[in-house]
Amino acid sequence: MKKVDVKSAEQELISKLIFNTITPRPIAWVTTLNENGTVNLAPFSFYNAITTKPPLIFISIGKRKDGSEKDTARNIRRTGEFAINVVTEKFIEQMIESGKDFPPEESEIEKLKIETSPSQIVSPPFIKDVPAALECKTKEILELGSTPMSVIIGEVVYIHYTEDSLSSQKGIIGRLGGKRYTIIEKEITPI
């Protein structure tokens, strides 16, 4: 087995090891609203649950190559609201496309012909036909790392879900290393 001392290793190798060993990562397909009320949609795979009491999640959002803030982080910082949509195989192509760099004034929802439903508490809508969507309000934003990354801690204030999502996660997409994804096809229940 190979070894690496993180203090002396090249950043590219460290990143590859993190991306390829912490897998599969859940994907937060996040809807936010820009200054004009246009719906922004983007996927983030540095995302997970923190606690259920209260229900807290985090999303880690990096900067653009030029160092500027991504639309999602800027919108969340401004409004304090967002919705997280669970991505299934049905939406994989649209999810990948929504991760491209669209201009801030252009809506990925409209461009990719994605239907939404109104949220109950937050302003950004959620994606119609996803198995679950979490309406969130910002609890805290941390700037971490040398890049830095915006680590957004959100409190889940409303949940939309299908009854099936409580018993099976089949069809949900996860992120692997590189530009690879996985689809949950097999679930194991210990005896």
Q: Is the pLDDT of residue 164 over 90?
A: yes
pLDDT tens digits, one per residue of 150-161: 999 999 999 999
pLDDT tens digits, one per residue of 89-134: 999 999 999 999 898 889 999 999 999 999 999 999 999 999 999 9
Report the pLDDT value the prediction gives residue 189, as an integer from 0 to 100. Answer: 85
80 torsion bin: left (phi>0), alpha (psi -120 to 50), beta (else): left
Place of tokens 């229900």: 55
For 7-26, what is the mean pLDDT? Answer: 92
The residue ranges of every structural domain in the chain are 15-183
Report the pLDDT value the prediction gives residue 14, as an integer from 0 to 100. Answer: 92
State how far the Cα of 157 lies from the Cα of 128, in Å rounded to an integer: 18
Report the pLDDT value the prediction gives residue 190, as an integer from 0 to 100. Answer: 87
State how far the Cα of 57 lies from the Cα of 136, in Å rounded to an integer: 9
Helices marked H in the chain: 11-21, 71-79, 92-98, 108-111
Superfamily of domain 15-183: Electron Transport, Fmn-binding Protein; Chain A (2.30.110.10)
